[in-house]
Chain A
Amino acid sequence: MSLEILGISVLWLFLFGYVIVASIDFGAGFFNAYSVLIGKDHILANVIKRYLSPVWEITNVFLVFFFVGIVGFFPQTAYYYGTILLVPVSISLILIAIRGSYYAFESYSEKGGHIGYTLMYGITGLFIPASLSIVLTISEGGFVEIVNEEPHLQIAKLFTSPLTWSIVLLSIVAVLYISAVFLTWYGKRARDEHASNLMRKYALGWSLPLIISVIGTMVELKGHVPEHYENMLNLWWLFAISGVLFFITLILLFNKRNYGIAVFLMVAQFGFAFFGYGISHYPYLLYPYLSVYDSFTNETMAIALVIAFIGGLVLLIPSLYLVMKWFVFDRDYACGKHNHHV
């Protein structure tokens, strides 16, 4: 495997990690806010809080890892994407900042949360994936113009394109679905039948919109970049596996069985789709200006980064294992038997 492919695969994997853990986080915030509005917050609040509190910082680091890594492995992305993304990414940053900080202010304060904060927390959770998914749309090409050798983003064109809005819609629906499936399992684990059942309903409810938005996005993509659509058709089997996993997940949820396996299948489903999408986009990082090859860093730096990455994993994997063992998989913790917060 060439270093270019290794680099982009590692980054894509971390981006996928971010998509999954952040989706759980963003969706949970939304469900929490929604349950406050309809007066069912007593059902969900505990489960959501106990899962999210220890891990919200880790979620953020996945994102940082991705954007630092991509500038390291593909320095030209800093030039192209840096120049054109000032406005959309700044907006995402402000939303992430508001969310991260309200998280700390609210969840560590003595009293229960303020309703205004809770709602804001829920809504930002949907705006963040929407604003970040703009980057995916831009990478498809057609929205960037080179004037005087400098890239410019055509904002009006971007915001009037149906492709943009179908990807935004898909990202929001996917967030809600991923989060609901995960919390169905976590609620069950915490022996909280009410929370689990409520989340199961949400998961099943969001599955149909998910199918519709996937199909809609494919149609838009076919009209916008036929080459990319062709590439995706060539990888049809990856998407077929993803679809099959999706239906097995739904069957398990429907029959109220094996939620743990359902979560695993759901992650695998998005994994196949995410990597299928990524591979079909290959070799472009920004169609048609920036490919994986012409933007790759010098070989010395690439090797240094790979060594640093392996070293980093040696530290990360055992630490993440501890988080899983003590919080996500620890029944007593999930049930709230002990409160060991500082």
Chain B
Amino acid sequence: MNDSAVMWSRALTELTLSFHIVYATIGVGIPLMIMIAQWVGLKNNDEHYLLLARRWARGFVITVAIGVVTGTAIGLQLSLLWPNFMELAGQVIALPLFMETFAFFVEAIFLGLYLYTWDRFKNPKRHLLLLVPVAIGASMSAVFITIVNAFMNAPQGFDLVDGELVNIQPVLAMLNPAMPTKVAHVLVTSYMTAAFLLASIAAYRMLRGSKHVYHKKALHLLLKLGLVFSLAALIVGDFSGKYLAEYQPEKLAAAEWHFETKEDASLMLFGVLDGEEVKYAIKVPYALSVLAHNNPFAEVKGLDQFPEDEQPPLYIHYLFDIMVLIGTLLIVVAAIYVLGKWRGWKFISSKSFKRIVVAGGPLSLIAVEAGWWFAEVGRQPWILRGYMKTAEGATTSGQVDTMLILFAGLYIVLAIGSIVALIRMFRNNPIEREIEEHQQVEGCEEQ
């Protein structure tokens, strides 16, 4: 076994995926936001919402480009870095991988059609219809690729007899127990992230002095959507906890530093680990039992039930905390906004509240990263839980470290390039100017 190849393969996969999921999450969430904005605009005959859709779509193109190229990279890297794993996975889980390419195909085709046919139809509803397959394709790609990941956490649909795979059932492999919660969590958090990211841009423009009603409408729409999706994320997150307790108790136990199996288990918030001793943590009595089994007195399995070489690293507790903390904070921010609008609180129009909303966008991306690291590191040392250790799946090539440097350089270029392109696109063409130009054009046509 080539130990350094295993380590570098993990590092390169982590780097590519961490970079890809920023753009992939945006890619899943934003088409839905564009569709909603355009629909509201058409329904209320409100030019501002149509412009929202148009401007979001313009920026979306750049993030899609990065999502496409990094997605192609990770797609090939799976085989390049984990050839043994992919050989086995190809026999059991190729179906959703294959279906993902079709979802991606449909999305790519209709995105092109949507982008280049603005104002081309007499009936604008037909143009809106083009966005439906884009949004569905984006979400379905996420569904299928998450099914593959769920399979790695809860493999089923085959039997291993003397090292041979027999009795393979591709559909059963897709419908594994981890699938429902994973897919639902990925979808709602993508929508949630997109809503908070776009809200963060609107709040930023208002902070920088733009008084245009356009930004107010955007913020209002997005924070309402953000509230809905973040509440949904909370509910699905609770189901995910119950899934873990049932099927992957070692992940939950490592995340909660729950060393001994016991009843009435309490939930651990924050804290630091000193050997096996937990310091400075806030303990919420019974909460872990409630999270795991919906019963404050239920028994929760601890790490003592697992051999040491099958326990995930304990630092995943911090990742879990970051994810949950940010999720909760965003629910509170969106809820305060919606309540404040309804009750007429002045606070929500203040600069300090807007600053919090601005922070919400980057924070939601941090939560996405932390959540994925938690999910992925939490199934170590397995690449295929219960069947194949990560070290057995990796390539034997000696050049992975060089490739890591090359790809790191590439991602730096892509990150800087995409940010510069986005800033240039919108700074050179602020909404005030676009609305003005738009009215002039309409004025010409009337004459």
Contacts and interface: CB of A to CB of B under 8 A. Distances in A.
Contacts of A338: 120
Contact of A60 (B68, B80, B165, B428): B68
Given A298-B91, A301-B91, A101 B115 contact: no
Given A72-B98, A90-B406, A342-B57, A57 B112 contact: yes
Interface string A118-157: 0000000000000000000000000000000010000000
The 7 nearest A-B residue pairs measured at CB: A75-B90, A72-B94, A104-B65, A82-B83, A78-B86, A312-B102, A82-B79
A316 B106 contact: yes
B61 A104 contact: yes
A6 to B, nearest CB: 14
Interface string B15-54: 0000000000000000000000000000000000000001
B97 A57 contact: no
B79 A71 contact: yes
Contact of A71 (B58, B94, B110, B403): B94
Interface in A301-333: 301, 304-305, 308-309, 311-312, 315-316, 319-320, 322-323, 326-327, 333
B413 A304 contact: no
Nearest to A150: B396
A58 B109 contact: yes
Nearest to B57: A342
A170 B168 CA distance: 43
Contact of A72 (B76, B97, B109, B114): B97
A63 B424 contact: no
A320 B403 CA distance: 36
A98 B105 contact: no
A251 interface: no
Contacts of B75: 64, 67-68
A109 B105 contact: no
Interface string B161-181: 000010011110000000000
B13 interface: no
Interface class of chain B by DSSP = helix
Interface string B295-325: 0000000000000000000000000000000
A326 B117 contact: yes
Interface of A: 53-55, 57-58, 60-61, 63-65, 67-69, 71-83, 85-87, 89-91, 93-94, 96-98, 100-105, 108-110, 150, 297-298, 300-301, 304-305, 308-309, 311-312, 315-316, 319-320, 322-323, 326-327, 333, 338, 340-342
Nearest to B429: A110
Contacts of A104: 61-62, 64-66, 421
A55 B399 contact: no
18 contacts: A61-B101, A68-B97, A76-B87, A80-B83, A82-B80, A83-B395, A86-B395, A94-B406, A94-B410, A96-B69, A105-B417, A297-B94, A298-B168, A305-B94, A308-B99, A320-B109, A340-B119, A342-B54
Contacts of A64: 71-72, 75, 101, 104
Nearest to B65: A104
A329 B320 CA distance: 53
Most chain A beta carbons < 10 A, residue from B89, B98, B115, B165 = B98
Given A78-B79, A89-B76, A315-B102, 4 more contacts: A72-B98, A297-B91, A323-B113, A342-B57
Interface in B404-424: 406-407, 410, 413-414, 417-418, 420-421, 424
A305 to B, nearest CB: 6
Contacts of A58: 105, 108-109, 112
Contacts of A341: 115-116, 118
A327 to B, nearest CB: 7
B417 A108 contact: no
A80 B81 CA distance: 12
Interface of B: 54, 57-58, 61-62, 64-66, 68-73, 75-77, 79-84, 86-92, 94-95, 97-102, 104-106, 108-120, 133, 165, 168-171, 395-397, 399-400, 402-403, 406-407, 410, 413-414, 417-418, 420-421, 424-425, 428-429
A80 B9 CA distance: 17
B403 A98 contact: no
A228 to B, nearest CB: 25
Contacts of A63: 72
Contact of A319 (B72, B90, B106): B106
A110 B94 CA distance: 42
Contacts of A110: 424-425, 428-429
A93 B12 CA distance: 14
B94 A101 contact: no
Of B133, B170, B396, which is in contact with the most chain A CB atoms at under 10 Å from its CB? B170
Contact of B65 (A68, A87, A103): A103
Nearest to B34: A342
A327 B115 CA distance: 12
B155 to A, nearest CB: 15
A8 to B, nearest CB: 15
B417 A96 contact: no
B425 A108 contact: yes
A338 B98 CA distance: 37
A79 B424 contact: no
A311 B101 CA distance: 12
B79 A65 contact: no
A86 B397 contact: yes
Nearest to B79: A82
B86 A301 contact: no
Nearest to A95: B410
